Amino acid sequence: MGPMFTDLLNRLFASDETPLPELDGRHAMAGMLVRMAKLDNLYAVEEIQRIDRILGASYGLNPVEAARLRAEAEKLEAQAPEDGRFATAVRDRLDRAHREAVLVAMWRIALADGTGTQTEFAYLERAAARLGLDGDAAVRARMAAAGAEPLEDSAP
Protein backbone atom coordinates (compact mmCIF):
# COMPACT_ATOMS: atom_id res chain seq x y z
CA MET A 1 0.00 0.00 0.00
CA GLY A 2 1.48 3.31 -1.09
CA PRO A 3 1.84 6.46 0.98
CA MET A 4 -1.19 8.06 -0.68
CA PHE A 5 -3.49 5.28 0.54
CA THR A 6 -1.93 5.27 3.98
CA ASP A 7 -2.56 9.02 4.19
CA LEU A 8 -6.16 8.62 2.96
CA LEU A 9 -6.81 5.86 5.48
CA ASN A 10 -5.30 7.89 8.29
CA ARG A 11 -7.46 10.89 7.44
CA LEU A 12 -10.61 8.86 6.73
CA PHE A 13 -10.36 6.86 9.95
CA ALA A 14 -8.72 9.46 12.21
CA SER A 15 -10.27 9.65 15.65
CA ASP A 16 -10.55 13.43 15.55
CA GLU A 17 -13.48 15.23 13.96
CA THR A 18 -11.47 17.05 11.30
CA PRO A 19 -13.61 17.20 8.16
CA LEU A 20 -12.33 15.23 5.21
CA PRO A 21 -11.71 16.89 1.87
CA GLU A 22 -14.36 16.23 -0.78
CA LEU A 23 -12.10 13.71 -2.51
CA ASP A 24 -12.21 11.60 0.63
CA GLY A 25 -15.99 11.82 0.57
CA ARG A 26 -15.87 10.31 -2.91
CA HIS A 27 -13.62 7.55 -1.69
CA ALA A 28 -15.98 6.88 1.22
CA MET A 29 -18.97 6.53 -1.09
CA ALA A 30 -17.00 4.40 -3.53
CA GLY A 31 -15.77 2.28 -0.61
CA MET A 32 -19.36 1.63 0.49
CA LEU A 33 -20.27 0.52 -3.03
CA VAL A 34 -17.22 -1.75 -3.30
CA ARG A 35 -17.90 -3.26 0.13
CA MET A 36 -21.51 -3.92 -0.90
CA ALA A 37 -20.35 -5.70 -4.06
CA LYS A 38 -17.80 -7.85 -2.21
CA LEU A 39 -20.14 -8.80 0.62
CA ASP A 40 -21.21 -12.11 -0.94
CA ASN A 41 -17.56 -13.05 -1.64
CA LEU A 42 -18.25 -12.81 -5.38
CA TYR A 43 -17.06 -9.56 -6.92
CA ALA A 44 -18.91 -9.96 -10.20
CA VAL A 45 -18.09 -8.06 -13.38
CA GLU A 46 -21.71 -6.79 -13.44
CA GLU A 47 -21.19 -5.26 -10.02
CA ILE A 48 -17.89 -3.64 -11.05
CA GLN A 49 -19.47 -2.16 -14.18
CA ARG A 50 -22.40 -0.84 -12.19
CA ILE A 51 -20.09 0.77 -9.61
CA ASP A 52 -18.17 2.50 -12.41
CA ARG A 53 -21.41 3.79 -13.99
CA ILE A 54 -22.71 5.04 -10.63
CA LEU A 55 -19.43 6.81 -9.82
CA GLY A 56 -19.29 8.30 -13.31
CA ALA A 57 -22.87 9.61 -13.08
CA SER A 58 -22.46 10.82 -9.49
CA TYR A 59 -19.25 12.77 -10.03
CA GLY A 60 -19.22 13.54 -13.76
CA LEU A 61 -16.29 11.20 -14.38
CA ASN A 62 -15.34 9.59 -17.66
CA PRO A 63 -15.03 5.78 -17.67
CA VAL A 64 -11.27 5.82 -16.99
CA GLU A 65 -11.64 8.27 -14.08
CA ALA A 66 -14.53 6.25 -12.62
CA ALA A 67 -12.52 3.02 -12.87
CA ARG A 68 -9.54 4.73 -11.20
CA LEU A 69 -11.71 5.94 -8.31
CA ARG A 70 -13.19 2.44 -7.91
CA ALA A 71 -9.71 0.87 -7.95
CA GLU A 72 -8.53 3.28 -5.24
CA ALA A 73 -11.67 2.52 -3.21
CA GLU A 74 -10.99 -1.21 -3.56
CA LYS A 75 -7.62 -0.72 -1.90
CA LEU A 76 -9.13 1.41 0.86
CA GLU A 77 -11.97 -1.05 1.40
CA ALA A 78 -9.54 -3.94 1.77
CA GLN A 79 -7.77 -2.09 4.61
CA ALA A 80 -10.79 -0.51 6.32
CA PRO A 81 -12.54 -2.06 9.31
CA GLU A 82 -16.25 -2.89 9.09
CA ASP A 83 -17.33 -0.33 11.63
CA GLY A 84 -19.43 2.11 9.64
CA ARG A 85 -16.75 4.72 9.01
CA PHE A 86 -17.44 4.83 5.26
CA ALA A 87 -21.13 5.44 6.02
CA THR A 88 -20.30 8.04 8.66
CA ALA A 89 -18.07 9.92 6.20
CA VAL A 90 -20.86 9.88 3.60
CA ARG A 91 -23.56 10.84 6.14
CA ASP A 92 -21.54 13.81 7.35
CA ARG A 93 -21.06 15.18 3.83
CA LEU A 94 -24.34 14.57 2.02
CA ASP A 95 -27.90 15.77 2.50
CA ARG A 96 -30.75 13.29 2.96
CA ALA A 97 -31.68 13.07 -0.74
CA HIS A 98 -28.11 12.22 -1.71
CA ARG A 99 -27.79 9.68 1.11
CA GLU A 100 -30.95 8.01 -0.18
CA ALA A 101 -29.36 7.95 -3.65
CA VAL A 102 -26.31 6.22 -2.17
CA LEU A 103 -28.58 3.59 -0.61
CA VAL A 104 -30.36 3.07 -3.95
CA ALA A 105 -26.94 2.59 -5.56
CA MET A 106 -26.01 0.03 -2.93
CA TRP A 107 -29.26 -1.87 -3.55
CA ARG A 108 -28.57 -1.81 -7.30
CA ILE A 109 -25.16 -3.32 -6.70
CA ALA A 110 -26.63 -5.99 -4.43
CA LEU A 111 -29.09 -6.91 -7.19
CA ALA A 112 -26.64 -6.50 -10.11
CA ASP A 113 -25.64 -10.16 -10.17
CA GLY A 114 -29.28 -11.24 -10.25
CA THR A 115 -29.42 -12.36 -6.63
CA GLY A 116 -29.56 -10.84 -3.21
CA THR A 117 -28.57 -12.72 -0.08
CA GLN A 118 -29.74 -12.39 3.51
CA THR A 119 -26.23 -11.20 4.37
CA GLU A 120 -26.52 -8.43 1.78
CA PHE A 121 -30.00 -7.46 2.98
CA ALA A 122 -28.81 -7.30 6.61
CA TYR A 123 -25.82 -5.17 5.56
CA LEU A 124 -28.14 -2.82 3.67
CA GLU A 125 -30.32 -2.41 6.77
CA ARG A 126 -27.24 -1.49 8.82
CA ALA A 127 -26.05 0.85 6.06
CA ALA A 128 -29.41 2.65 5.99
CA ALA A 129 -29.25 3.25 9.74
CA ARG A 130 -25.61 4.35 9.56
CA LEU A 131 -26.52 6.78 6.77
CA GLY A 132 -29.14 8.27 9.10
CA LEU A 133 -32.08 7.01 7.04
CA ASP A 134 -35.34 5.64 8.45
CA GLY A 135 -37.29 2.54 7.46
CA ASP A 136 -39.41 4.41 4.92
CA ALA A 137 -36.30 5.66 3.13
CA ALA A 138 -34.89 2.12 3.11
CA VAL A 139 -38.10 0.77 1.53
CA ARG A 140 -38.09 3.55 -1.10
CA ALA A 141 -34.44 2.78 -1.92
CA ARG A 142 -35.13 -0.92 -2.38
CA MET A 143 -38.15 -0.20 -4.61
CA ALA A 144 -36.18 2.30 -6.70
CA ALA A 145 -33.33 -0.18 -7.13
CA ALA A 146 -35.76 -2.91 -8.17
CA GLY A 147 -37.00 -0.91 -11.12
CA ALA A 148 -38.28 2.60 -10.54
CA GLU A 149 -36.56 5.71 -11.83
CA PRO A 150 -32.96 5.33 -13.06
CA LEU A 151 -30.09 6.57 -10.91
CA GLU A 152 -27.45 6.14 -13.58
CA ASP A 153 -28.84 8.62 -16.13
CA SER A 154 -28.62 7.14 -19.62
CA ALA A 155 -25.75 4.80 -18.83
CA PRO A 156 -26.38 1.26 -20.07
Report the alpha-carbon distance of residue 88 to residue 43 in Å, rounded: 24
Report the CATH number of the 20-145 domain.
1.10.3680.10
CB within 8 Å of 116: residues ≥ 6 apart: 110
pLDDT at 50: 93
CB within 8 Å of 99: residues ≥ 6 apart: 90, 91, 131, 132, 133
Local confidence band at 133 (pLDDT 50, 70, 90 cut-offs): very high
pTM of the model: 0.75
The structural domains of the chain, with segments of one domain joined by +, span 20-145
Report the alpha-carbon distance of residue 128 to residue 121 in Å, rounded: 11
Report the alpha-carbon distance of residue 96 to residue 74 in Å, rounded: 25
pLDDT at 1: 52
pLDDT digits 0-9 by tens, 74-129:
988 888 777 788 888 889 888 898 899 999 999 988 888 776 778 888 889 999 99
